[in-house]
Amino acid sequence: MTAIQTSDDSLFNDSHLEIEGNAAILKSFLQFGEENIKREIERLENVMPDSVSFNMDTKKGESEVKTFIDNFIQYTYNRAQYDFHFKQRLRQSIIIQLYSFMELYLTKQCEMYSVGLEEGVRFKDIKGNNELEKFKDFYKNSIKLNIVELDQKRWGFIKNLKVLRNKITHSQGKFSDEDTHGKLRSLENKKTYSLIKENASESYRIELEKDYIIVCIDEVSKFLKDLTVKR
């Protein structure tokens, strides 16, 4: 069995539209945020203090030198805010929104399937350590669909995405335990995602690239569609 049968084509179509609509909104929001940050960086560069033309060897008044230094420090601070902090907060927020949508969508799906269930455990009665495991158990035991076997690679991605979401939510993308490091290493891709070791400590911080956010949106969308496609 590779998919769930639905008797209502409109319900099936609505489910796909909901998934695709959420993906489109998140991608548009990401693009909007990235473009605005890029524009602000360009604006900063246009007013950046010109250290080349400001010849420190010539006689400058103390106030003039101080003003130049203050402006340059402010530019450096603002540039770091836009180029790192704002970009990372934007991308982290999309990971959180994406995962929240996935949980809400699967909860609604499981509750909907529970209504017409003639046998098997209803979703509200499933016990588990976390929602993701509850979804897996409900699909396997009550709908007879093994999510893990459906696509093992994607299931592994979703499980580790949960770890990533939790670290972003609860520790601002920083961690030090080796178990988390091992799980997140499996998600790491030098072009899209990296774990940065902070100074000489054993702690890491997560840096997300725009391309990686697109990958996450697409993977979650495919995962959810796999659970609503008709047989």
Between CA 22 and CA 86 the distance in angstroms is 22
231 found inside a domain: no
Amino acid at 116: G
- Higher pLDDT, residue 20 or 8: 20
Contacts of range 9-15, beta carbons closer than 8 Å, 24 or more positions apart = 12/228, 12/229, 12/230, 15/109, 15/228
1 found inside a domain: no
| pLDDT, averaged across the chain | 79
Beta strands in the chain (DSSP E): 174-175, 193-197, 204-208
Confidence class for position 227, pLDDT limits 50, 70, 90? confident
pLDDT of residue 81: 76
Count of the separate structural domains present in the chain: 1
CB of 26 closer than 8 Å to CB of 219: no
pLDDT of residue 106: 94
Closest to 173 (Cα-Cα) out of 132, 134, 142, 212: 212
27 found inside a domain: yes
Residue 1 has pLDDT above 50, yes or no: no
pLDDT of residue 103: 95
CB of 195 closer than 8 Å to CB of 185: yes
Between CA 209 and CA 96 the distance in angstroms is 15
4 found inside a domain: no
Confidence class for position 231, pLDDT limits 50, 70, 90? very low
3-class secondary-structure state, position 192: coil
Closest to 107 (Cα-Cα) out of 128, 82, 78: 128
Q: What is the pLDDT of residues 173-204, one digit of tens each?
A: 877 766 666 667 656 554 445 566 665 566 77
Amino acid at 50: D
Q: Which residues contact 207 (CB under 8 A, 6 or more apart)?
A: 88, 173, 193, 194, 195, 196
47 found inside a domain: yes
DSSP secondary structure string for all residues of 15-52: HHHHHHHHHHHHHHHHHHHHHHHHHHHHHHHHT---TT
2 found inside a domain: no
What is the mean predicted confidence (pLDDT) over 63-88?
76
pLDDT of residue 174: 79
Residue 225 has pLDDT above 80, yes or no: yes
Quick one: how far is CA 104 from the chain centroid?
16
Q: What is the pLDDT of residues 76-109, one digit of tens each?
A: 767 777 778 889 999 999 999 999 999 999 999 8
Q: What is the pLDDT of residues 131-165, one digit of tens each?
A: 999 999 888 888 888 999 888 889 989 998 998 89
CB of 48 closer than 8 Å to CB of 75: yes
pLDDT > 90: percent of the chain:
32
3 found inside a domain: no
Range of the domain at 39: 9-226
